A and B are shown apart, each in its own frame.
Chain A
Amino acid sequence: MPAGLYRALLTVAGAAVAIVLAVAISSVAISVAGASPEAAFAALFNFGESERAVVNGITSMINRSVPLFIAGLAVAVGFRMNLFNIGVEGQYRIAALCAAFVGAQFSLPAPIQILLIIVVAAAVGGLYALIPAVMKVTRGVNEVISTIMLNYIAIQLAAFLVRGPFTGERAKGQLTTSTPTLPESAWFPNLNGLFEMFGLPAPRGGGLWGFLAVAVLLGVAVWVLLERTKFGFEVKASGLNPMAALAAGVKPKKMVIAAMVLSGAIAGLIGLPEILGDKHNFGSNFTPGLGFLGIAVALLGRNRPAGIAVAALLFGFLDRAQGPLQFANVPPSVIAIMQGAIVLLVVVANEITSRMALRREERRAARQLGRHTPVEVAA
């Protein structure tokens, strides 16, 4: 069997075993919580009775996946060169706030308005990520610590700005605060036409977020950048072996700053699908936590855009079942257990399969060299 095929089969088998185990662990958790696992898994796949309910379900699954996918990309760009940008959380929240506020200050033709908002979000996210990058290259501050600390600052700063300087008008009797509502030219057109093309009813709510298209383009762009450019090669080389990369003429400081800023700029876009597609402002009800979830999504997707897309869709699929699970009298917290179990087991499975593949490759190499004892692998 060729080594490539063996490796691919191993990966698929590993993922399959991981998911079966995750299902088993979740079943135990569901049983302990006093519900029936069969009902829970039926609820996961129950998208509703009517066509409209099914369309709503699919839409909410994809709408959930879009920001998770962008978050996964942001984290993965750093991970590829062993930079742990835990600050995606803070970067996207401060960026979303600034973009929503700036976008509400003027009204231009829709394409320009939306493009400007995207640029502001990416710039703010990138600039905020520049802080830990500069601290790392000039003072050697570990980026894990500095980004975690900067998260707190960003979250508190955003909370202060949205109720203070950046706050918009409030309806009488409304207690939540938000930035001023964006002009209609900033509302990203939805993709409900996709459903109507197949003769299905349009989904309710904000509809299928048009930002999906931007996310797909972003995914392709990140893939090209990492896999098909000199910059991407240098990123990976720095991650795999910083000394070798240095010897080959890659400037490590420049790479840290570039990768961190790129990661932050992508992170800046995480909040935009929700703001441009549905809420049209940044307020008390803005979805938090996507930056941390992005770490899990990136891990699950093995830091590759296609893998991250699958992982984001899987998370979206599971998160969508919050309602249906409760209709089936299953506590919805089993979703979090399932997500955690899948991520952990897939990461473990990846490690095991890559070691198995490595061992086989070393045995093969040893045989070809004419030695009959397998080389001991350093674990």
Chain B
Amino acid sequence: MLGKRFGRMAVGTVAGAMLMAAAACGGNSGGDSSASAQPSAGASSDAPKAGALKVGLAFDVGGRGDKSFNDAAYAGLEKAKAELGADIKDLSPASDGSNRGELLRQLADAGYNPIIGVGFAYGEDIKKTAEEYPDIQFAVVDSASNAPNVTGLQFAEEQGSYLAGVAAALKAKSGHVGFVGGVENDLIKKFEAGFVAGVKSVKKDAKIDVKYLTPDGDFSGFKAPDKGKVAAEKMYQDGADIVYHAAGDSGLGVFQAAAAAKKLAIGVDSDQRQTIKEADLQPVIMTSMLKRVDVGVFEFIKAFQGGAKGGSNTVYDLKVDGVGLATTGGEIDDIKDKLDAAKKDIVDGKITVPAKP
């Protein structure tokens, strides 16, 4: 009997809670309907513009909100909307990444052209989709062109890393620096090669520790802050003053190790001193090697508007400011002259930065 009464009470409580939730929902949806009505109204007013620029962009798993690589791509897309009047749409895949190709096709079927895949994981899916939709132009960030209507958007990471190396060598009193790479593949090796060349250009006998978190093909090294921390801790203990990371989310561990050792680190991809959430880690980020995915995305859209066709790779280098160093915090302002000189030498072709270690 008691059990029955308890059951009734439980049902009553649950029902009450649900009613309240439903009431809250009603209030919310009332407020939101006006907000959500706006984008659709905007879309319908855009529709009649025949031949208007419609740009589609598909993220990889993890997508928007990473305060780095993907958000930079989105910034480029938004710039295209503001400056070129483009109608834009961005999609993120399911968490298992099973529908990358599907998203590209849905964008294509909805009339988007050009379509951009962000991240090397799109390489194969872009190729297939591009063959199915030969009239649409595609671009893929960080992967090579593999069809006549695909543009590979690549970056001269080695040039930006060279500047990071110059800055590290000038700032490291001990003449000892470190590099933490996320995954030991050709892409990340470009960062290492440029960094090492930059350091050696300042101090021939500098000591450079290099550590990769995972071997080629195992992408977990990009999201393993614990491994990044261990690797960087070792370098700082061995006497390194500054550690440069090209390890995605694992960089957080590098910054933590730097803060604990009261030393410095160099960020990657975006201006991490600005984007990092942990305020206590900001001061350890001396500078960041910027990879301007936003520039790449925007320039590609602009070139498309000008009638450019795919089939080749576009490399964004120092000349077009596709890569560079962040100056937030002013830690490298005192060596600005030397950095500018190094940059000028690279742009002028006096220095050729190696892309392979």
**A residues in contact (CB < 8 Å) with B:** 24, 27-28, 31-32, 34-37, 39, 48-50, 52-53, 56, 60, 64, 159-160, 162-164, 167, 171-177, 204-205, 279, 283-285, 287-290, 319, 322-324, 326-329, 332, 335-336, 379
**B1-51 with Cβ < 8 A to chain A:** 3, 18, 21-22, 24-25, 28-29, 32-33, 35-37, 39-40
Contacts of B91 in A (CB 8 A): 322-323, 326-327
Cβ-based interface call for B82 (8 A): no
Contact indicator A287/B96 (Cβ below 8 Å): yes
Contact indicator A327/B132 (Cβ below 8 Å): no
A-B contacts, 14 listed (Cβ < 8 Å): A28-B21, A36-B37, A56-B106, A163-B218, A167-B217, A171-B144, A173-B144, A175-B187, A204-B105, A204-B129, A205-B128, A288-B96, A322-B99, A336-B95
**Given known contacts A329-B36, A332-B92, A324 and B24 CB-to-CB distance under 8 angstroms:** no
Output the least CB separation between A36 and chain B (Å): 4
* CA of A324 to CA of B24, assembled, Å: 26
What number of residue pairs across chains A and B have CB atoms under 8 A from each other? 143
Contacts of B54 in A (CB 8 A): none
**Given known contacts A28-B22, A64-B98, A324-B106, A37 and B29 CB-to-CB distance under 8 angstroms:** yes
Contacts of A159 in B (CB 8 A): 217-218
Contact indicator B98/A287 (Cβ below 8 Å): yes
- 8 Å CB contact of B102 from A34, A50, A323: A323
Cβ-based interface call for B88 (8 A): no
What is the size category of the interface that chain B forms with chain A?
35 or more
Contact indicator B40/A39 (Cβ below 8 Å): yes
Contacts of A164 in B (CB 8 A): 217
The secondary-structure label for the interface of chain B is: helix
Residue of B nearest to A329 (CB): B39
**Given known contacts A174-B120, A323-B91, A28 and B102 CB-to-CB distance under 8 angstroms:** no
* CA of A205 to CA of B100, assembled, Å: 11
- Known A-B contacts: A36-B32, A160-B218, A176-B121. Give 18 more (CB < 8 A): A28-B21, A28-B25, A34-B35, A36-B36, A53-B106, A56-B109, A171-B123, A171-B144, A171-B146, A204-B129, A284-B219, A287-B96, A290-B96, A319-B98, A324-B106, A326-B90, A332-B94, A335-B94
* CA of A367 to CA of B17, assembled, Å: 38
* CA of A34 to CA of B33, assembled, Å: 9
* CA of A293 to CA of B209, assembled, Å: 43
Residue of B nearest to A177 (CB): B217
- 4 shortest A-B CB distances, which residue pairs? A173-B144, A163-B217, A177-B217, A323-B106
Contacts of B124 in A (CB 8 A): 174, 176, 279, 283, 285
* CA of A285 to CA of B121, assembled, Å: 7
Cβ-based interface call for B93 (8 A): yes
* CA of A53 to CA of B105, assembled, Å: 9
Contacts of A324 in B (CB 8 A): 106
Contacts of B98 in A (CB 8 A): 64, 287, 319
Output the least CB separation between A354 and chain B (Å): 16
Residue of B nearest to A57 (CB): B106
Contact indicator B102/A35 (Cβ below 8 Å): no
Cβ-based interface call for B161 (8 A): no
Contacts of B107 in A (CB 8 A): 323
Contacts of A176 in B (CB 8 A): 120-121, 123-124, 217
- 8 Å CB contact of A48 from B95, B109, B120, B185: B109
* CA of A167 to CA of B185, assembled, Å: 14
Residue of B nearest to A52 (CB): B109
Contact indicator A35/B32 (Cβ below 8 Å): yes
* CA of A329 to CA of B92, assembled, Å: 12
Output the least CB separation between B105 and chain A (Å): 5
**Given known contacts A163-B218, A322-B99, A323-B91, A56 and B123 CB-to-CB distance under 8 angstroms:** no
**Given known contacts A36-B36, A284-B121, A285-B97, A163 and B215 CB-to-CB distance under 8 angstroms:** yes
Residue-by-residue, is B177-217 near A (CB-CB < 8 Å gives 1, otherwise 0)? 00000000111000000000000000000000000000111
* CA of A31 to CA of B94, assembled, Å: 21
Contact indicator B29/A319 (Cβ below 8 Å): no
Contact indicator A173/B152 (Cβ below 8 Å): yes
**Given known contacts A205-B128, A327-B89, A175 and B185 CB-to-CB distance under 8 angstroms:** yes
* CA of A177 to CA of B218, assembled, Å: 9
- 8 Å CB contact of A205 from B29, B36, B132, B313: B132
Output the least CB separation between B214 and chain A (Å): 9
